[in-house]
């Protein structure tokens, strides 16, 4: 990368050769005075985007995808960037890489959509693929490269044979049966934390002992583990820090494990993770243990089978428990790190008592019978 440190001024500068888009003659860019390397990189990335915009009137899709990814890299989290790049590399670039952006017509989008449907993807994944291509076109419109978005003109397709995935969760009774066969104290703590806090698995993986306040009986959620890039990201999924309060039973379990951890000579509460030690406990390992526990219960209870649920469904289970205890949506949203609207959209069908309250309001309105004339 053409970013260098000017040791005499302790600032950074950008120096690179490029072809002038009009004359095609070689030119050199030299821009000095950046206080940080990040500022210099940002300038160079923006320069590259603008240069590409000037080089052609009918850009190749492969070039445009790269431009879009350059644009998004500075604006989204590394995990999000990883996901959109993976979709672009698999579903967009290979199909359209030999075409210019202006050559892509609605009929081509329809053909592409038919190919996607043949792969029998879930509707969520189909929406992610089509949504990304639509955003790329919208980006090109903002750069005045094209005037229309053919993906938007055609509209998204859905796999009609795929029904929406039913929200799965364990009731409290079901969870107590599940935990009743756990014989490992660490995994008992892992699943209790998932079920009784509603944390995302990535948030739980990133929690260190320094996040725990025994006096307040609270846990601060300020980061999560990116399993794709294998790093701790310095923010949560929605970018907000939240504090969740823990039950006495959870505090007692945590205190017991904390006492054991303190016996390590190198123990550091800022570096030791709550559910592991110095290294991250992988989601695959947790999932494998969940399967083992579930198989153990179902194997010994043929007439009382527990449904197979995902790790993320423990979060849904926590919400279901709160809803059944008539906790309001605002409080649930705050605990989950969601918006109130998202809680209502995702879990609205679990609020039947709230819907029935409408009947009470309506029935309280007394209509005066009309007399015959």
Statement: residue 24 has pLDDT above 50:
no
Q: What is the pLDDT of residue 180?
A: 96
Q: Which two tokens stand for residue 372?
A: 């015959």
Specify whether the CB–CB gap between 93 and 65 falls below 8 A.
yes
Q: Are residues 139 and 253 in the same domain?
A: no
Alpha carbons 343 and 347: distance in angstroms, whole number: 6
List the domain range (segments joined by +) for residue 40: 1-55
Quick check: 20 and 12 in contact, CB under 8 A?
A: no
**Can you give the pLDDT at residue 326?**
82
Instruction: Give the integer Cα–Cα distance in Å for 45 and 39.
Output: 10
Least confident stretch, 10-14, 305-309, 338-342: 338-342
Read off the CATH number of the domain in which 140 is found.
Answer: 1.10.150.130
Please say whether the beta carbons of 172 and 306 come within 8 A: no
In the predicted model, is pLDDT for residue 161 greater than 70? yes
Q: Do residues 216 and 295 both lie within one domain?
A: yes
Q: What Cα–Cα distance (Å) separates residue 290 from each residue in 115, 281, 284, 314?
A: 36, 14, 10, 11
Q: Is residue 208 part of a domain?
A: yes
Specify if 365 maps to a domain.
Answer: no
Looking at 147, 165, 183, the residue that finishes a domain is 165
283 and 330 co-located in one domain: yes
Q: Is 364 a member of any domain?
A: no
Q: What is the mean pLDDT of the chain?
A: 88
The whole-angstrom separation of Cα 212 and Cα 39 is 35
Task: Report pLDDT digits (tens) over 200-233.
Answer: 999 999 999 999 999 999 999 999 999 988 999 8
Separation CA 118–CA 164 (nearest Å): 18
If you count DSSP H runs as helices and E runs as strands, how many of each does the chain have, helices first?
16, 8
Residue 53 has pLDDT above 80, yes or no: no
Query: In this structure, are 204 and 125 located in the same domain?
Result: no
Q: Bridge-partner residues for 29, per DSSP?
A: 16
Residue 373 within any structural domain of the chain: no
Question: What's the structural domain count of the chain?
Answer: 3
Mark whether 43 and 94 lie in a shared domain: no
pLDDT number for residue 143: 85
CA separation (Å) from 200 to 8, 134, 336?
Answer: 48, 29, 8
Task: Tell whether 361 is covered by a domain.
Answer: no
CATH code of the domain in which 319 resides: 1.10.443.10
Helices (H), the chain: 37-55, 61-73, 78-87, 93-96, 106-118, 123-142, 150-154, 172-179, 185-197, 201-205, 248-261, 283-300, 313-324, 329-336, 340-347, 352-363
Of 14, 32, 55, the residue that ends a domain is: 55
Q: Nearest Cα to 57, choosing from 160, 143, 125, 118?
A: 143
In a domain, 236, yes or no: yes
pTM (predicted TM-score): 0.70
Question: Is 142 in the same domain as 176?
Answer: no
Say whether both 285 and 265 belong to one domain.
yes
24 and 108 in a single domain? The answer is no
Are 83 and 182 members of one domain?
Answer: no
Average pLDDT over residues 294-302: 96
pLDDT in tens, 55-101: 556 778 888 899 899 999 888 888 899 999 999 999 999 999 888 88
Nearest to 93 by CA among 62, 64, 132, 114: 62
* Residues 270 and 121 placed together within one structural domain of the fold: no
213 shares its domain with 308: yes
Residue where a domain stops, chosen among 135, 165, 195: 165
- 195/329 same-domain check: yes
């Amino acid at each position: 990368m053409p970013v260098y440190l000017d040791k005499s001024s302790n600032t950074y500068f950008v120096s690179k050769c490029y072809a002038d888009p009009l004359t095609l003659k070689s030119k050199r860019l030299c821009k000095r005075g950046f206080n940080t390397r990040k500022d210099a990189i940002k300038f160079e990335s923006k320069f590259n985007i603008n240069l590409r915009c000037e080089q052609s009137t009918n850009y190749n899709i492969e070039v445009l995808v790269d431009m879009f990814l350059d644009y998004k890299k500075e604006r989204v989290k590394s995990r999000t960037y990883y996901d959109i790049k993976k979709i672009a590399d698999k579903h967009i670039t290979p199909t359209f890489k030999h075409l210019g952006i202006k050559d892509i017509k609605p009929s081509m989008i329809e053909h592409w959509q038919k190919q996607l449907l043949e792969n029998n993807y879930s509707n969520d994944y189909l929406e992610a693929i089509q949504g990304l291509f639509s955003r790329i076109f919208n980006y090109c419109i903002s750069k005045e490269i094209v005037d229309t978005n053919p993906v938007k003109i055609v509209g998204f397709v859905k796999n009609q044979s795929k029904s929406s995935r039913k929200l799965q969760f364990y009731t409290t009774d079901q969870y107590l049966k599940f935990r009743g066969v756990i014989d490992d104290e660490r995994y008992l703590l892992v699943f209790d934390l998932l079920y009784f806090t509603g944390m995302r698995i990535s948030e739980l993986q990133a929690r260190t002992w320094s996040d725990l306040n025994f006096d307040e009986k609270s846990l601060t959620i300020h980061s999560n583990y990116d399993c794709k890039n294998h790093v701790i990201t310095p923010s949560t999924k929605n970018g907000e820090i939240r504090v969740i309060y823990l039950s006495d039973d959870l505090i007692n379990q945590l205190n017991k494990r904390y006492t054991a951890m303190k016996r390590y000579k190198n123990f550091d509460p800022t570096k030791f993770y709550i559910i592991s030690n110095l290294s991250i406990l992988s989601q695959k390992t947790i999932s494998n243990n969940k399967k083992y526990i579930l198989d153990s219960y179902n194997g010994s209870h043929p007439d009382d089978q527990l449904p197979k649920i995902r790790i993320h469904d423990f979060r849904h289970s926590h919400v279901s428990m709160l809803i059944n205890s008539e906790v309001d949506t605002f409080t649930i949203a705050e605990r989950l790190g969601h918006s109130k609207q998202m809680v209502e959209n995702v879990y609205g069908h679990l609020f039947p008592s709230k819907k029935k309250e409408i009947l009470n309001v309506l029935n309280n309105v007394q209509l005066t019978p009309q007399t015959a004339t």
